[in-house]
Chains A and B, each alone.
Chain A
Amino acid sequence: MNIFADALGWILDPANYAGPGAIPVRVLEHLGFTFLTLVVASAIAIPFGFAIGHTGRGRGLAVATSGGLRAIPTLGLLTLVALWVGIGLGAPYVALTVLAIPPILAGAYAGFEAIDRGAIDAARAVGMSEAQVLTQVEIPLGLPLLIGGLRSAALQVVATATLAAYVADFGLGRYLFSGLKTRDYAEMLGGSILVILLALALEAVFATIQRVVVPRGVATTRLPVDRARSARPRPGMEPAITKGNP
C-alpha cells in the first residue's frame, strides 16, 4: 500500500515540476505526440474509410488490412523502425500511427454504413451529386461513429505512447523507463498514474464531442422510424466503437 502513497508523493513533489524533465513538460510532450499521431493517422485513414463507405467497395480489403495492422506488436515495429531510421521520434510516430489507423478507418466506413440506405438513395434520386451526398448526408450522419473510432484510437495511442521513451527522451514513458532502471517504483507508478489520468481526460473529451456531433434530428426522440440503426448488420465493427454510440 505504501508504494501508492510514495507514488502520490512523487506526483505532488514540487521538485518534479521544475527543470527539463518536469511533469508538465512531459504531459505536454505526451499530449502533443498523441495529437500529432492522430492527425497523421486520420489523414491516411479517413479518406480511405470515406471512400469505402461511400462506394461500398474495398471493405473486405480494409478489414483484412486493419486486422493485419492490429496484429503487429507495437514494440516490435517500433524497434524495427528505430533500427532503420535511428534513435529519435521518427520510429514512435510510425509505430503509433500504424496502431491508430485501424480504429479510425473502421469508424469512418462503419459510420457511413450505418446510415439508412433509403435516405442516401433518396438524396441521390432528388438530384444530389456524389460530392453533395458525401458532404451533406454521409459525413454529417456518419460523424458520431467516426468520432468513436478516433476516441478508440486516442485511447490506444495515449497509453502506448509511453513506448516513445524507449528510443527518445520523450513523454511520460520516460518516468517508467528511468524508474525501471533505477528501481524507483514510486516514479514508475507515478508516471503510470499520470498516463491513466491523461487517458481518462481524453475519454471525457471525446465522449463529449461524440455526443455533440450527433445530428439533432437523429438524437431527438426515437419515434416510429428507427429502422436506420438496425437496418444492416455491421460485421467487423469494433465493440470499442459501438459502445460510445448513444
Chain B
Amino acid sequence: MIEFRSVSKQFPDGTLAVDDFSLTLPSHRTTVLVGSSGSGKTTLLRMINRMVDPTAGSIEIDGVDIASLEPVKLRRSIGYVMQNSGLLPHRKVVDNVATVPLLRGVPRKKARADALAMLDTVGLDRALADRYPSQLSGGQQQRVGVARGLAVNPNILLMDEPFGAVDPIVRAELQQELIRLQTELGKTVVFVTHDVDEAFLLGDQVVILQEGGRIAQIGSPADILAHPANDFVASFIGADRGKRVLHVERHDGRDVLVDSDGRLAGVLVGDSAPGQVGVSR
C-alpha cells in the first residue's frame, strides 16, 4: 500500500507542481493517475521512488516513510518504466533487462538467465536478446522496458506514460499485454497517462487530476463514468459527448448502440442483466 499524506512539491523556480495531495493506493491493484500536462501526475509518480522529494508531507510504503530510506536502494526495489523506453543504447537487450539485478549483486550468469526468462514473460522472442535497443521497433523497446522494470520482481511498478510514444495499434497490443501480466503478477501498479481511454482500460482505481495535483475525482472507471463529480471531470472524460454517450436503437429486431454524433458504436448482445452490457464492435 502506498500512501500520500498532504504532499506538496514546489520546484526551485517557484512552480507549485503538487499542493497538499493525499491518496491511498491499494496493493496489488492498478492505480492510474490521469490528467493533462501540468497536473503534476509525473511528479507524483516520481516521488514514490524518490526521484523527486516532496517539499512538504510524507509518503509511506507499507507503513514505512520513504524519506527514511536510501534513494538508490529504494529505487532498486521498485520497477520503473518510462516513455521512450529509456534503455541504455550501448547495452544489448538482455543486459538492459539484467541491469538492476546486476546492481543488486546477482551473479552475471543467473541475471542473464533470469533476463531471458523475463523476455518470455513480456512476450518477446529470445532471439532479440543479443540485439541493441536501436535495432528494435518502438513496441519491442517498450516491452524490454517493462521486462527491465519487472526484472527484480518488485512489489511496485511505476509506469510513466509507457505507451505514449507508440502507434495506436501497438499501444492497444501493449495495453492488453499489461492487463494479462497484471492478472498473472498482481503488482501494485502506478500508471500515469493523459489518455482517459487508457486510464479506464487499465485502472482499478482512476485518479483524475487538475492543475497542482488537485484531485478532481477518485473511483473505479464505472463510478466515474456513471457519476462524474463535476463539470471538469465530465468534460475531461468526454462523458457529455461523442462515443461516451450511447443510446439504443432498434434495428431489424436487434438493439444497436449509437453515439451522440449518430455514429454506430456497436451491437447490444446477450441478456442484459443489470451492469452486464457487452458492446461488440
Q: Given the complex, which residues of A lie within 8 Å of B46, measured CB to CB?
A: 125
Given A119-B89, A127-B76, residue A220 in contact with residue B103 (CB < 8 A): no
The reply to whether the CB of B43 lies closer than 8 angstroms to some CB of chain A is no
B138 at the interface (CB under 8 A from A): yes
Stretch at the interface among B78-86, B107-115, B214-222: B78-86
Contact indicator per residue, chain A 65-97, by CB within 8 Å of chain B (1) or not (0): 000000000000000000000000000000000
Does residue A234 face the partner (Cβ distance < 8 Å to B)? no
Q: Does B100 contact A (CB under 8 A)?
A: yes
Cα distance A116–B141 when bound, in Å? 15
- Within the assembled complex, what's the spacing in Å between the Cα atoms of A116 and B49? 21
Q: How far is the CA of A128 from the CA of B102 in the complex (A)?
A: 10
Residues of A within 8 A of B80 (CB): 122, 125-126
Residues 90-148 of A contacting B (Cβ, < 8 Å): 116, 118-119, 121-129, 132, 136-137, 140-141
* Complex alpha-carbon distance, A129 and B104, angstroms: 12
The segment from B127-135, B184-192, B248-256, B261-269 that touches chain A is B127-135
B84 near A126 (CB under 8 angstroms)?
A: no
CB within 8 Å for A127 and B103 given contacts A220-B134, A223-B136, A225-B134: yes
Residues of B within 8 A of A122 (CB): 80, 82, 85-88
Interface pair A223/B76, CB less than 8 Å apart: no
Cβ contact within 8 Å between B84 and A215? no
A228:B86 contact, CB within 8 angstroms: no
**Residues of A with C-beta under 8 A to B92:** 217
Shortest CB–CB separation between residue B102 and chain A, in angstroms?
10
Contact A217 B103, CB 8 Å, known A122-B82, A225-B141? no
Which chain A residue lies CB-closest to B78?
Answer: A127
Bitwise interface map of A from 198 to 239 toward B, beta carbon under 8 Å scored 1, else 0? 000000000000000001111011111111100000000000
Interface residues on B, range: 35 or more
Smallest CB–CB gap between B51 and chain A, Å? 5
Query: Within 8 Å of chain A (Cβ to Cβ): is B75?
Result: yes
Q: List residues of chain B with CB within 8 A of the CB of A126.
A: 75-76, 80, 99-100, 103, 148-149
- Residues on the A chain within 8 Å of B77, using CB: 127
Docked-complex contact B88 and A123, CB < 8 angstroms = yes
Query: Chain A contact residues: over half helix, strand or loop, or mixed?
Result: helix
Q: Assess the A217–B90 pair: CB atoms within 8 A.
A: yes
Contacts of B49 in A (CB 8 A): 125
Q: Counting chain A CB atoms within 10 Å of each CB, which of B49, B74, B87 scores highest?
A: B87
CB distance B137 to A218 under 8 Å?
no
CB contact between A222 and one of B76, B134, B138 (< 8 Å): that residue: B134
Q: B138–A225 contact, CB under 8 A? A: yes
Is B169 an interface residue, CB under 8 A from the partner?
no
Please report the C-alpha to C-alpha distance between residue A124 and residue B75 in the assembled complex, in whole angstroms. Answer: 8
Determine how close the nearest CB of chain A comes to the CB of B95; give it in whole angstroms. Answer: 10
Tell me whether A127 and B86 are in contact in the complex, defined as CB-CB below 8 angstroms, given that A122-B80, A222-B134, A223-B134 are known contacts: no
A218 to B82 CA separation, bound complex (whole angstroms): 20
Residue in A217, A220, A228 whose Cβ sees the most chain B Cβ within 10 Å = A217
What is the CA–CA distance of A123 and B149 in the complex, to the nearest angstrom?
11
Among A125, A132, A137, A222, point to the contact of B103 (Cβ < 8 A). Answer: A132
Q: Are A216 and B90 in contact (CB under 8 A)?
A: yes
CB contact under 8 A between A216 and B132, given known A118-B86, A126-B76, A137-B88: yes
Knowing A118-B84, A124-B51 touch, does A218 contact B75 (C-beta < 8 A)? no
Point out which of A125, A136, A137, A218 has the most chain B C-beta atoms below 10 A from its C-beta: A125
Q: Is B72 an interface residue (CB 8 A)?
A: yes
Q: Does B73 contact A (CB under 8 A)?
A: yes
How far does the Cβ of A82 sit from chain B's closest Cβ, in whole Å? 46
Contact of A121 among B76, B82, B137 (CB under 8 A): B82
Closest residue on chain B to residue A128 by CB atoms: B103
Besides A215-B89, A223-B137, 7 more A-B contacts (Cβ < 8 Å) are A118-B85, A125-B51, A125-B75, A125-B82, A220-B135, A225-B85, A225-B138
- Which residues of B does A touch, CB under 8 Å? 46, 49, 51, 72-77, 80, 82-92, 99-100, 103-104, 132-138, 141, 148-149
Q: List 18 A-B contacts (CB under 8 A).
A: A116-B89, A118-B85, A119-B87, A119-B88, A119-B89, A125-B49, A125-B75, A126-B149, A127-B75, A128-B99, A216-B132, A217-B90, A217-B132, A218-B132, A218-B134, A221-B135, A225-B133, A225-B138
